[in-house]
Amino acid sequence: MQPLMDDVDRKSEPVARAGEVASVGDEASRSVVPTPRLPATVPSAPAKRRRRLRFAAALLAVLLGAGGGGIYWWKHSHPPLPPGISFGNGRLEADEIDISTKFAGRVAELRADIGDVVTAGQVVARMDTRDLQEQLKKSQAQMEQARRLIEEASANLEQQHTQQKLAAQELERTQGLLANGWATRELFDQRKQALDGANAAVSAATTRVAQAERALEASQHDVGLTMVNIRDNDLVAPADGRLQYRLANVGEVLPAGGKVFTMLDSSYAYMDIYLPTLEAGKIKIGTDARIVLDAYPNTPIPAKVSFIASQAQFTPKTVETKSERDKLMFRIRVRIDPERSRIHAPSAQSGLPGVAYLRVDPNVAWPANLLGQP
pTM (predicted TM-score): 0.61
pLDDT band at 332 (very low <50, low <70, confident <90, very high): very high
Q: Are 242 and 312 in contact (CB under 8 A)?
A: no
pLDDT category at 370 given cuts 50, 70, 90 is confident
Residue 2, pLDDT score: 41
* CB proximity list for 28: less than 8 A, separation 6 or greater: none
Per-residue pLDDT, averaged over 169-187, amounts to 83
250 burial level (CB within 10 Å; 0-12, 13-18, 19+): exposed
Amino acid at 143: M
pLDDT band at 47; cut points 50, 70, 90 = low
Cβ burial, residue 349 (10 Å; 0-12/13-18/19+): middle
Q: What string of DSSP letters covers 326-346?
A: TSEEEEEEEEE-HHHHHHHTT
Burial of 198 (0-12, 13-18, 19+ CB in 10 A): buried
Partners of 359 in the beta sheet? 85
Residue (of 206, 124, 125, 117) closest to 160 by Cα position? 206
* End-to-end C-alpha distance for the chain, whole angstroms: 121
Mean pLDDT of 151-159: 91
Distance of CA 137 to the CA centre of its chain: 38
Residues contacting residue 114 through CB under 8 Å, at least 6 positions apart: 243, 244, 245, 246
Q: pLDDT band for position 316 (50/70/90)? A: low
Q: How far apart are the C-alpha atoms of 168 and 170, rounded to whole Å?
A: 6
pLDDT tier at 62, thresholds 50, 70, 90: low
pLDDT at 25 over 70: no
- What is the crossing angle of helices 130-180 and 185-232, to 10°? 170
Interstrand relation of 259-275 and 85-100 (parallel, antiparallel or unpaired): antiparallel
- Determine contact, residues 263/241, Cβ cutoff 8 Å: yes
Q: Which residues pair with 87 in a beta bridge?
A: 357
Edge-to-edge strands, sheet with 123-127: 234-236, 123-127, 105-110, 253-254
Backbone angles phi, psi at 18, to 5 degrees: -65, -35
**What average pLDDT does the structure give for the chain?**
80
pLDDT of amino acid 185 = 84
Residue 324 is predicted with a pLDDT of: 53
